[in-house]
Amino acid sequence: MTDDDRKNGGGQSQLVLDSRTSTKKPSMYKVIMLNDDYTPMEFVVHVLQQFFGRSGSEATKIMMNVHQRGVGVCGVYSFEVAESKAQKTMQYARQNEHPLQLQLEKE
């Protein structure tokens, strides 16, 4: 056994995890809604309530924000949840023949 082996536990491999770099929190993602000229306002309010758990007044506020400024935040989630909500909302919009678009943005 070499001196080095003795130092590291008799030749057994050791995995040293640095708690400062190995405990990073997973990133969060904004689900962004884009304005368009065709999706009805009531439909946007409805999807914000159904898919993003917003109250009627929250949903109306977010919809008007998107309508006036071009974009708005529906909510902030882990990547998997954000992607799933964006896809399900767009699929539902297509089923109803609306061009509503959503995107993810890393926080």
**Interface ranges with ligand TYC (CB under 6 A):** 33-37, 39-41, 44, 63, 66-67, 100
Q: How far is the CB of 37 from ligand TYC (least distance, A)?
A: 6
CB 68 within 8 A of CB 41: no
Nearest CB to ligand TYC, comparing residues 62 and 77: 62
Q: Counting every residue, how long is the chain?
A: 107
Q: How far is the CB of 27 from ligand TYC (least distance, A)?
A: 24
DSSP secondary structure letter of residue 96:
T
Q: How far is the CB of 103 from ligand TYC (least distance, A)?
A: 11
Nearest CB to ligand TYC, comparing residues 41 and 76: 41
CB 59 within 8 A of CB 45: yes
Cα separation of 58 and 20, whole Å? 38
Nearest CB to ligand TYC, comparing residues 4 and 52: 52
Nearest CB to ligand TYC, comparing residues 44 and 86: 44
DSSP E strand stretches across the chain: 28-34, 71-78, 101-106
